[in-house]
Structure 1
Amino acid sequence: MRRLLGFNNETDFPDIMTSWSDRLHPDDAEPTISHYIAHLADHSGRTPFDFSYRLKTNDGSYRWFRGTCGTLRGPNGEPLRSYGSVVDIHAQKVAEEAQALASQAQAKTVAQLATALKQLANQNLTFRLNEEFPEDYELLRLDFNSAIGNLEEVVSAVNSTAASIYSGILTMSAASDNLASRTGQQAASLEETAATLSEITSTIKKSADGAAHARQVVSNADKDARNSATIVNQAVGTMQNIASSAQTINQIIVVMDEIAFQTNLLALNAGVEAARAGDAGRGFAVVASEVRALAQRSAEAAKEIKGILSTSTTQVELGVKLVAETGTSLERISVQVAEVNGIMSEIAIGPKAQATSMNEINSAVTQMDQTTQQNANMVQESTESYHNLSKEVDLLSNLISRFKIGLDVASRNPENTREQSDSLMFRSPPKSLPGSRPLAPRQLSARAVV
């Protein structure tokens, strides 16, 4: 033992009990001596002495030793002499102490981590490992604090982003609802417009058909007027020929009247000569009288015919004049009918062009109506998508509402500064809304997950 403690002679380390007991570590002195006394006090010898303790070396430091001893006893078990050995176990003991310290540090670290993980399991993102870990585990503490801090910021950012998304959903959903309503009204108006245009197109088509028919009628009237003018001209020519024939007949009647006058004179001369002849000329006188009577009747008949011809000639002249006037009127009518025919042609072209334009407009309005109907269906689908998205964001709110974040983190997001408390907890919005409408804007805050 003397050499193990760094002493070279008995002067420095006498072979006495106190040389050993005086060098025990203050923490080891009482338990070591008590253990040794218990060994000596057991007269049966069944209590061994096998104990580890620290002794002060020559340089003043303490080293670990393992001491074992036995005791020679008398007949009554009284101790006579002790003997034993001392083994230097300093290196082993230091290693055991280091291992114990490491185990204690590890256990403490695991306990603190367990506490931190339990807080994390309870969705508390404000918890931090503020007490320093042993050097070997300090990086683990820093990494955990960094990770939970980043997670807290992410959750807060998700909340802020969700609030912004929800605000956008509110706007888009309201706009989509308004657009759906306006699109529905527009579709109904376009449908009514299309029906009205269809009726107008039908009416214009009928007008075009009527105008075309009127044009045809006027065209036929124009042809009839031209034919009537030709016939009237022919009638005028015929009446003129009749007038000319009447003049010829009148001249013939004049000749006949002169012949009757000459015959009457001859009959009168013949009667005079027959009277001169006496009885011999009596028969001739009778003949002459008859001839004279015939001549007078011929003259009267010629006179009557002349009067009738004179009346007829006057009437024919009047008829010629009237027919001429009729021809002039028919020519004017023909000209006017031609003008009406031209106007009706232009009128017929107008409704036809209008009918064509209205057909194109009707087709365009029909396409607009179909497009509007499609837009209405798409807007309805968009509205349903917005409502479904609102439900998904509502589900997201239920998930995020379990996490607890700190006031300082929540205050970094403008969306989260409207409702704050000592410990900001995400709060879910209502599960359902009347008419599947989105949440009201006042519910968007640091405590409200959209």
Structure 2
Amino acid sequence: MKWFGQRSGPESARNDNQDLLISSISTLREQGELLERENDALRVRLEAMQRAMDCGWWEVHLADDASPIGKTASAWSERFCELLGYGHDEFYPVLDAWIACVHPDDQIALLTAWRSAAEGKSNVTTTVVHRAKHRRGGYRMYEMRIAGCYERPADGDGQSGFTVIGTLADIDEASQRHHEFEKMRARFELSRELLADGIWDIEVIAGDPLNPKNVFWWSDQVRQLLGFSSIAEFPDVAESWTSRLHPEDSERAGQAFIAHLSDRSGRTGYEVEYRLRCKNGEYRWVRARGQSVRDKHGAPLRTVGVLTDIHAARIAQELGAAEEVFKASMLESIKEIGEIVSTIGGIARQTNLVALNAAVEAARAGTAGRGFSVIAGEVRQLSTRTREATESVMKIQSELARRQGAKHAPKGTAHAAARNSNSALLSQ
């Protein structure tokens, strides 16, 4: 018995196929929507990554049909367009749009890199630094990274060819900073060549002045000051300095340096004079000065200083001190000579008085005192000659005292005393 409305035969099979098709379409639609959501999520992540990396991405597919490279359809990310000052819909999706922005002097290098990637000649990522015109006017420096790969559709329905992809980063500010740094470095190098002082630099690891990993650098002037000509002879290590300190200066120089670095207040300066052994074995006097850069806690990060050759000045100072001692001794000797001359002068005066008294007594004695009178006359002549010789010595002594005292003897010291004694003698 058949029920009314029951379907059977070809019509029932057709209906089942329609239901299956509808179900498949619904499933495909759901999968498509899921893929679209995943694609949107990936695009959002990609845009976020671009912003985090401060770069934009681009993609160009070059078909095997040898189409003009400039007319090739291209894809630019939103961040790519922003870096050039455009909205995403304002920048034409063809390669020529980008090439037109590139500075004419940089186009050849950029296109060469593009073609190498497109033709598979370069298996590595190529970086091209170039200038491109910003929408607001003026050229800015950009860095483009380019990579390519060959794609052949697995089903054979698509179009095979090379896909060239890459990133674009704005490096204009970094380029300007680098340019300023190069100018400063050039000035430093030129100044260093003109300076006679040697420059040294120490990178302090972990704020520890005694850390064996501290990085030292000695300028060529430091090496030349000590008679060296290469890094091999005088390496950039601490031992190049410590091993050449004079034994009498080593502890003092080391303590001064450690005291400077260890004072986290930064109030302890670093300036010390010591001797260093040269290549020929001789010691030279130098003056070391330095300043440190510190972190917020006062720990030293880097110390830079100069080494000045003061050998000639130091030797002159030592010679000057020796000369002062010699001259002081000479002044004292002149003073002693003055005292001796004064004594001799006194003796001559007394002898003259004795001779005078003897002559008076001889005159009183008459004929009996004539012989004694002759002796008194001889004594008087001897006294006169002694006085004349004493006056000559006093003049020489006074002139020596004047010459020495004019430069070195203070007022009222040995020179003045000697001069006063001479005046007293000459007045007698």
What is the TM-score with the length of structure 1 in the denominator?
A: 0.33
Higher strand share: 2
What is the TM-score with the length of structure 2 in the denominator?
A: 0.34
Larger RCO: Structure 1 or Structure 2 (Cα < 8 Å, ≥ 6 residues apart)? 1
